[in-house]
Amino acid sequence: MATFATFRSRIFLSRQSFQKFQTGIMESRRNLSSYLVTPKELSEALKKSPPSPISPEPRVIPLCAAWFLPNDERKGIDVFREKRIPKARFFDLDKVCDKHSPYPHMLPNAKTFAEAMSSLGIRKEDTVVVYDSKEAGIFSAPRVGWTLRVFGHPKVHVLNNFKLWVEEGYPTESGELYSVECNPYPIPKTDETKVASFEQVREVALDSNKEGSEGVQIIDARPNGRFTGKDPEPREGLSSGHMPGSINIPFSAVLDPETRAFLPKEKLKKLFEEKGVDPSKPIISTCGTGVTACVIETALEEAGYGSPETRRVYDGSWTEWAQRVNPSDSLIRKDE
């Protein structure tokens, strides 16, 4: 009996060990090292877990988020057709948004988001790696990555970046959109803690430099000329300038000027320190329309700067701000 019990115990342990081994294999197939991933990491992940429509296992899905400013003649869908990662899907920022808002590409509601993910053939358990156009390097992909996080998609990453993917000789394809099999995507909960509203930012701006204020910091990712008020906004009729107490860190400052990829962690930390950003205080990132604010948010994440629980993105950003503030409040400042 003792021998049989020992034998049965060994079988149980063997099965348990096999299950742990199997789980470890699955995790190693799916997990990427950090929020930002290199072309090499993505290439290896795609080989292990390709975006096959017939695979029942979680897959790695490249998601193109190419987008351009309204004064640019290029369109994201056009550069997607010209050159993309094989089997990539295209996320249209101007379509997956709040259609009832007067401001561009504001966050959609949870139902609209779920419908978009379903139409893209993305499952809740899939690992999604968002990337930009080759020309931009890093621009709008962090916005889409942030959007997926707001709606609780478990595994989201940003490629750092497609320009390097192309230059390093990884495969690409071109052509029209191809059909994908729709998958039911559950309507998620919205993580409101990642989003700053107009009212919240207005309160921070009104309290700027006042004794007893919470010391919430606002980082503005727009170019310095627009921040100071010397250059116009790309949207006609919109005043340039900045919010009281805000810190200007143009999104290009967190990118390598040659590769257009994010700077290394230590350089990002040094940049934020030099700009006077206090990691112990809450941070709100803003920009023109909430796109490049997410470049700053991603740089903060990469640098481990500030607490993720107290970092937010102002969704409406300057486009909403400049249209909603009262002139009497003096909440649009310009440098003399």
Active site residues per annotation: 287
Instruction: Write down how long the chain is.
Output: 336
- Among left, alpha and beta (phi > 0; psi -120 to 50; other), residue 246 is beta
Would you say 299 and 262 are in contact if contact means Cβ atoms under 8 Å apart?
yes
Tell me how far apart the alpha carbons of residues 61 and 294 are, in angstroms, rounded to a whole number: 21
Could you identify the residue written with the tokens 């009832």? 100
Tell me how far apart the alpha carbons of residues 54 and 52 are, in angstroms, rounded to a whole number: 5
Residues 6 or more apart from 77 whose CB is under 8 A from it? 66, 90, 92
Torsions phi, psi of 64, nearest 5? -75, 130
> What are the Cα distances from residue 100, in Å, to 39, 144, 148, 198?
37, 19, 20, 16
Residue 196, token pair as written in the block:
């700053």
Would you say 110 and 190 are in contact if contact means Cβ atoms under 8 Å apart?
yes
Tell me how far apart the alpha carbons of residues 217 and 273 are, in angstroms, rounded to a whole number: 13
Q: Tell me, what amino acid is at 175?
A: G
Residue 98, token pair as written in the block:
């709040």
Residue 296, token pair as written in the block:
């700053």
